[in-house]
Amino acid sequence: MLGGEPGLPCYRKKPRRRLVTQEGYPYIFFSALITFVTWVAFGEWGALFPFLLTLYIVSFFRNPPRRRPAGEEFILAPADGKILEVVDCDEKRYLKGRAKRISIFMSPFNCHINRSPISGTVVDCFYQTGSFKAAFKRKAMDHNEHHAVLMRDQYGKSWLVIQIAGFLARRIISYIQSGDALKRGNRFGLIQFGSRTDLYCPFPCEIFVKKGQRVYAGKTILGRIS
């Protein structure tokens, strides 16, 4: 199912850049309201937990400015988190070819804004419903709800970024549609409350990162286009 067209589940018009994304406003408001009510009813200690929860929600939806490294040949991380694996694979669903897959696990404490790893044009977007298994498990890439973005760079090479919902993540949001042009480091979506992002790089490419390494979206260089 084409998932990047207006009106379908994961698409949202890209909001103006703020330090906290607007998707977090309802959660922040509700949590702040609970904090106020418990403070009035039970005092400072009674309001401590909802107050800390409000701070966490604000932190989760943070949207820090990122200055991308110079050099169009460098591949940037599409997500904040930890590298799960770097492997050669056959991607048969969307890319339909050999690629280097870099999987990034985003914990509930990471910033969850997704950013474009390269400059290019969005060829197509695909939204797939599914289960909500733990995002760090291998089965998640095949069975979980996900949103796939197929891109083409200036050299005509195809790239694939897949936003994968996890056990806590129950909502994928995309700001892009087919035909949109993205620059390296541009925001293209987010996943709420713990998730995973897979990047499929075309051959030939040189990858610098390893399993277990922490990376930051739009900032960390994952590799270089050969």
Query: Model confidence at 6, in pLDDT bands (50, 70, 90)?
Result: very low
Q: Tens digit of pLDDT for each residue in 176-209? A: 888 999 999 999 988 877 688 999 999 889 999 9
Residue 160 confidence (pLDDT): 96
| DSSP codes joined into one string, the chain | -B-SSTTSTTB-PPPPP-SB-GGGHHHHHHHHHHHHHHHHHHHHHHTHHHHHHHHHHHHHTB-----PPS-TTEEEPSSSEEEEEEEEEEETTTT-EEEEEEEEEE-TTS--EEE-SS-EEEEEEEEE--B---TTSTTHHHHB-EEEEEEEETTS-EEEEEEEE-SS---EEE---TT-EE-TT-EEEEESSSEEEEEEEPSSEEE---TT-EE-TTTSEEEEE-
Over residues 123-131, the mean pLDDT reads: 80
CATH architecture classification, 74-225: Distorted Sandwich (2.70)
Q: Tens digit of pLDDT for each residue in 155-175? A: 999 999 999 886 655 578 888
Residue 138 confidence (pLDDT): 62
- Indicate which residues carry an active-site annotation: 195
Q: Is the pLDDT of residue 14 over 80?
A: no
Average pLDDT, the chain: 85
Residue 7 confidence (pLDDT): 39
Residue 104 confidence (pLDDT): 95
Q: Is the pLDDT of residue 90 over 60?
A: yes
Q: Is the pLDDT of residue 8 over 50?
A: no
Give residue limits of the domains in the chain.
22-60, 74-225
Give the residue, 165 or 57, on which the prediction is more confident.
57
Most confident option among 72-86, 122-136, 164-178, 181-195: 72-86
